[in-house]
Amino acid sequence: MQGAMRLRAVWICDRDSVSAMNYQCRTPHAYHEEMKDTKATVRYAGDDFFVAVPPSGHALTLDIKGERSSAASPLELLLVALGGCTGADVIDILRKKREHVTEYRIEVHGERREEHPRSFRRIEVRHILHGRGLSDKSVAHAIQLSDEKYCGVSATLRPTAEIVTSYEIHEED
């Protein structure tokens, strides 16, 4: 009679983002502790709809039937995520610099590749700010910091898509 095999250790290994040859390994407990705040659940709801629940618990409906357009598609949400991420950084930085922003809008436009999986090849992010005495230098610096240092969505997309940022400032009385 053969003895039962016991599994002594399980490790979860991910490739290092710098080199495909390097792996970072950790125990399942450590992995789940690290990832527990980033778990999203997506459930099929029928008729080409999905219901997504991100870590915050606020449910979103996804529509994968493009011509119906009754809810956001996954790729539309990716553009929204980029705009929201960089917008949060920029407004926070400008607030710390005591800049008086009265209105702020981010327009994100994505150009997709022709071949499948039709990922974005270029994404244009346009920051449109209104305010009183906004410093051009402060706005440019805030956008640069978000783009190059703080926005995790930009950092995630940058290896596969060119991200181009621009801005305009409108002075208010």
Over the stretch 90-129, which tens digit does the pLDDT of each residue have? 999 999 999 999 999 999 999 999 999 999 999 999 999 9
What the chain holds in terms of domains, given with CATH numbers, is 12-63 (no CATH), 74-171 (3.30.300.20)
Instruction: Count CB-CB contacts under 10 A for residue 141.
Output: 15
Q: Residue 36 phi/psi, 5° resolution?
A: -60, -30
**DSSP-assigned states of every residue in 106-166:** EEEEEEE-SSTT--EEEEEEEEEEEEES--HHHHHHHHHHIIIII-HHHHHHTTTSEEEEE
Instruction: Identify the DSSP state of 72.
Output: B
Check residue 27 and give its pLDDT.
Answer: 59
The count of C-alpha atoms lying within 13 angstroms of the C-alpha of 115, restricted to the half-sphere facing its C-beta, is 0
Query: Do the beta carbons of residue 22 and residue 15 sit within 8 Å?
Result: yes
pLDDT digits (tens, 9 = 90+) for 9-45: 555 555 554 444 555 566 555 555 655 567 899 999 9
Check residue 68 and give its pLDDT.
Answer: 83
DSSP SS3 for 77: helix
Question: Is residue 4 over pLDDT 90?
Answer: no
Q: Work out the pLDDT band at 66, boundaries 50, 70, 90.
A: confident
As a whole number of angstroms, the distance between CA 172 and CA 110 comes to 30
As a whole number of angstroms, the distance between CA 38 and CA 42 comes to 13
As a whole number of angstroms, the distance between CA 41 and CA 46 comes to 16
Rounded mean pLDDT of 138-155? 97
As a whole number of angstroms, the distance between CA 163 and CA 15 comes to 24
Q: Work out the pLDDT band at 65, boundaries 50, 70, 90.
A: confident
